[in-house]
Amino acid sequence: MLHYYCKQFLDYGQLADFSIRCIQTLTIRLNELKAFLKSQRIRSVKKITYRHLINFVADYKKPSVHVRKSRVRRLRQFFHFLTLHRHTPNNIALKIPYPKIEKTVPQFLTPDEYNRLICHFSKKQDSSSMGLKNLIIIMLYITTNKGFVETITC
């Protein structure tokens, strides 16, 4: 029965002018959901509980945080569709929280690393015009990123 609803939803997505990438992601996530529900021996959409959805999002095949976020989004869309067409009484996926994606912390070069870069490119600049260009790029990078080098010993 789930296969029928998934096919209907994907057809609806194409009619609603979902992007190709969105349709591809929906297909992947719905196939994952079908495999998960099959492993749980659930055959009816009406027997899917909030706990099943949480287990699917968080634990099924140890997903990354980005995959979990994608699963939540696609489940919300799918259950919205099921609710609109009265296949389920309400959208149980609305309460699933989106996972928090931590921001990456930029890494900066230490003064010693700046010194080594400058020394390396200053030695290379004597041999070619490319070496001089690279040295200038490194020097510009250091000055525009407010990096400062106290002493340079090559």
d(CA 99, CA 58): 9
Question: How would you class 83 by CB atoms within 10 Å of its CB: exposed for 0-12, middle for 13-18, buried for 19 or more?
Answer: middle
Whether residue 91 is contained in a domain is answered as yes
| Same-domain check for residues 85 and 110 | no
| Same-domain check for residues 88 and 121 | no
| Same-domain check for residues 12 and 80 | yes
Q: What are phi and psi of 86, to 5 degrees?
A: 60, 35
Domain end point (choices 69, 95, 121): 95
pLDDT in tens, 53-86: 999 999 999 999 999 999 999 999 999 999 999 9
CB atoms within 10 A of CB 123: 12
Q: Dihedral of the CA atoms 121, 127, 128, 133 (nearest 10)?
A: 20
* Residue 132: both structure tokens together: 């001089």
Query: Domain containing 124: what range?
Result: 106-154
Whether residue 100 is contained in a domain is answered as no
pLDDT bracket for residue 150 (50, 70, 90):
low
Rounded to a whole number, what is the distance in angstroms from the first to the last CA of the chain? 73
d(CA 135, CA 122): 6
CATH at residue 39: 1.10.150.130
pLDDT in tens, 2-20: 899 999 999 999 999 999 9
Query: In total, how many domains does the chain have?
Result: 2
Distances 106 to 38, 103, 131, 153 between C-alpha atoms, Å: 43, 9, 27, 27
| Same-domain check for residues 70 and 89 | yes
Domain end point (choices 95, 122, 139): 95
CB 116 within 8 A of CB 105: no
| Same-domain check for residues 24 and 88 | yes
Q: Which residue has the tokens 């979990």?
A: 68
Would you say residue 122 has pLDDT above 90? no
The radius of gyration of the chain's CA atoms, rounded to the nearest angstrom, is 27
| Same-domain check for residues 74 and 116 | no
**Residue 129 vs residue 40, higher pLDDT:** 40
